[in-house]
Amino acid sequence: MSLAPIVHELRLACPVEVAFDTYVDRIGEWWPPGYADDARSFTGLVVEPVVGGRVVASHGADERVWGRVTLWERATHLAHTFTPGQPPGRASLVRVDLRPSATGTAVRFEHGGWAPGSERVRSRFTGWPRILSRYAHLAEHPDPEK
């Protein structure tokens, strides 16, 4: 039996393009250092904007590949593999779907693709609400000085 994905739905008061760009281009700003391999040395996170592109965490001069982009449809769909917290050689899958809504953007976030027997690994991913709330805040308030 396959494990159910972790799903979160967000309603953002911003255009779809802003929501997408914030997820991709500003992920290093909203990703909490405490959810990186080493919070003290974490300096950023980058998504390379192309299928096959890397998801890379930076720790000073050290780069750690967290995954690869598997789906890239500008402003509407993004998926990438995700290795943090996984046993060596395994990856789960993160998918983000965005669509316009009456108040801005509806975002569906799904973390799935769990390998058989990954119940313990999956149970460690309880931090998504905190992580995604930081994303939502930055998407809705992209320039706090304005």
| pLDDT tens by residue, 35-69 | 998 999 999 999 999 999 999 999 999 999 999 99
pLDDT at 145 over 80: no
Single-letter code of the amino acid located at 16 = V
- The CA distances from residue 31 to 2, 3, 144, 146, in Å, are 28, 25, 17, 22
The full set of domain ranges for the chain reads: 6-30+70-140
Token readout for 126 is 């309880």
Give yes or no for a contact between 128 and 146, defined as CB atoms under 8 angstroms apart: no
pLDDT at residue 88 in the model: 86
pLDDT at residue 146 in the model: 55
pLDDT at 19 over 60: yes
Token readout for 30 is 């909203």
Give yes or no for a contact between 8 and 132, defined as CB atoms under 8 angstroms apart: yes
DSSP result, 63-126: EEEEEEEEEEETTTEEEEEE-TTSPTT--EEEEEEEEEETTEEEEEEEEE-PPTT-HHHHHT--
**All residues at 6 or more sequence positions from 90 whose CB lies less than 8 Å from its CB, including other chains:** 83, 115, 118
Strand (E) or helix (H) holding 48: none
Predicted confidence band at 117 (pLDDT cuts at 50, 70, 90)? confident
Cβ count near 54 (within 10 Å): 17
Domain 6-30+70-140, second-level architecture: 2-Layer Sandwich (3.30)
Mean pLDDT of 21-38: 96
d(CA 98, CA 19): 8
